[in-house]
Amino acid sequence: MLRLFGAGSGDLSLGQECRLRNAGTVGIVGRKLGAGGQGAVYIVDVGGRELALKWYHPHVVDIDTTLRSRIERLVQEGPPDNRFLFPFDLVTVEGRREFGYVMPVVSSDRRPFRDILAPAPKRLDLGLEARATACYEIADSFQQLHTRGLCYQDINFGSFFIDPIRGGILICDADNITVEGLQGGVLGTPKFMAPEIVRRETIPSSRTDLYSMAVLFFYALFQWHPLEGMRDAAGGQKTPDEVMRLYGRDPLFIFDPRSSDNAPVPGAHDWVVARWKAMPASLRDLFTRSFTDGLWNPDARVVETEWRAAMARLRDAVTHCPTCTFEIPLDMSASEAQPRCPVCATAVPRPTRMTLGRYLVAMQADRRLFAHHVEPTAPIAMRDSVAAVDKHPTDESILGLRNLTQAPWRGRTSGGQPVTIVPGRTVRIIDGLGIDFGRREGVVAGADPSARSAA
């Protein structure tokens, strides 16, 4: 992270009292959770409630003269949504010029997002569905932030905690947030900064946030940086001029369709290439726009609504190669009935799937349908499930679709036999099954056609 000030220290003591300004209550400082260039984070007990206290180093308070007003504004306005670990009160200690703020404690089941790139055994091996969910939630959260006229300035791996099962995210370091157009205390993190920031031509903004978010998404899906191809093949420590060329002065996408000067290196980037080939063409197009036109024109960058739609569809589409288990999303735009696995070249049969208007959902155990799948006018959102794909309790090869709504569904088998699926009940997923969800019909293809439906 590049900040506009240097490093320093300033600790609180175990058992020390601090005061929450707005609440007027006293907190007792507990153990230190961690420390960095800006300050340290402690557990603090406030009337029996455990909170996290971020306490700034003295030099940060002295140099970043707008920090306190920014924190006060965040406290007053509150978070854009509940995924932001926002300050909810300013904290002071008698006799100290420094200050801090309290926020919720991150639960122990969350992992730092950066763990997806960590070496074994610390690495977090997330499936593609969970990665797509995380990217969706990040895009959705930053859309809420940007519509308030705010920008985050420093999107990077350290900004997030992730649910290692479902992919849900929490956003930390909310003190990075500032009003669009105003200078904050941070420029960004190397490799995530937009080229115009690397070149020191502008200050962070919602448009530079969009670039950083695209880099984060590329890392999340491909385990690699989008600008590191053959130009970076040597790896190792780079000179300042090399860094400027690679990320600022002359950036070039590893999959740039107009130039092979930074193309993948065989033997070094094989997995990245395989993942790229497996992705739906529509998603590849978004990354290509982000790292071609979007490198030079901030207004050409992919916006949050585009990422939300793409990641929601990716999440729906994940399936696996039957031979090597490499994850391969379904692609509605693909004409090939049986795509080949880009890793082992096995012909991958199209899995059991449900078509719902413009959506295609692979019927995998634990997959969910949401309002946007069944309601044509509903915005894309992954909050309240309307249906769940369940395994049969004694035969895992049998899948069923459970009604999670309060209204019955009307369905029909491929032979035209009517079925009714009342709330809480499950219908077996078979080839040709059609379900009328009220405003949209879903039709199943690819399941065992000999099976009989039972609701």
Tokens 């509940």 map to which residue?
A: 82
Predicted local confidence at residue 454, as pLDDT: 47
Predicted local confidence at residue 384, as pLDDT: 85
Strands 111-112 and 441-445: unpaired
pTM of the model: 0.92
Predicted local confidence at residue 234, as pLDDT: 74
Predicted local confidence at residue 157, as pLDDT: 93
Tokens of 133: 């969910």
Encode pLDDT of 214-228 as tens digits: 999 999 999 999 999
Tokens of 442: 């879903």
What lies within 8 Å, CB to CB, of 240 at 6+ separation is none
pLDDT band at 336 (very low <50, low <70, confident <90, very high): low
C-alpha 397/C-alpha 387 separation (Å) is: 19
Encode pLDDT of 61-120 as tens digits: 998 888 999 999 999 999 999 999 999 999 999 999 999 999 999 999 999 999 999 998
Tokens of 103: 């926020």
Query: Which of the pair, 185 or 360, is modelled with greater confidence?
Result: 360
Q: Which backbone phi and psi does 12 adopt, to 5 degrees?
A: -105, 160
Residue 6 has pLDDT above 50, yes or no: no
Residue 236 has pLDDT above 90, yes or no: no
Using a pLDDT cut of 70, give the percent of the chain over it. Answer: 95
Predicted local confidence at residue 106, as pLDDT: 94
Residue 5 has pLDDT above 50, yes or no: no
pLDDT band at 4 (very low <50, low <70, confident <90, very high): very low
Q: Which backbone phi and psi does 356 adopt, to 5 degrees?
A: -130, 90
Residue 291 has pLDDT above 60, yes or no: yes
Tokens of 249: 């002065």
Q: Which backbone phi and psi does 64 adopt, to 5 degrees?
A: -85, 85
pLDDT band at 264 (very low <50, low <70, confident <90, very high): very high
Encode pLDDT of 148-204 as tens digits: 999 999 999 999 999 999 899 999 999 999 999 888 778 999 999 999 999 999 999
Q: Which backbone phi and psi does 251 adopt, to 5 degrees?
A: -70, 145
Domains recognised in the chain with CATH numbers: 2-103 (3.30.200.20), 111-311 (1.10.510.10), 351-445 (2.60.200.20)
- Mean predicted confidence (pLDDT) in 358-383: 93
Contact 196, 208 (CB under 8 A): yes
Look at the alpha carbons of 220, 226, 229, 233 in this order and tell me if their dihedral is positive or negative: negative
Tokens of 269: 């980037």
What average pLDDT is seen over the chain?
92
Predicted local confidence at residue 453, as pLDDT: 46
Encode pLDDT of 268-278 as tens digits: 999 999 999 99
What does the chain come to in residues?
A: 455
Predicted local confidence at residue 337, as pLDDT: 65
Encode pLDDT of 106-142 as tens digits: 999 999 999 999 998 999 999 999 999 999 999 999 9
Tokens of 298: 């901030």
Helix pair angle (304-317, 206-222), 10° resolution: 20
Asked if omega into 121 is within 30° of 0 (cis), the reply is yes
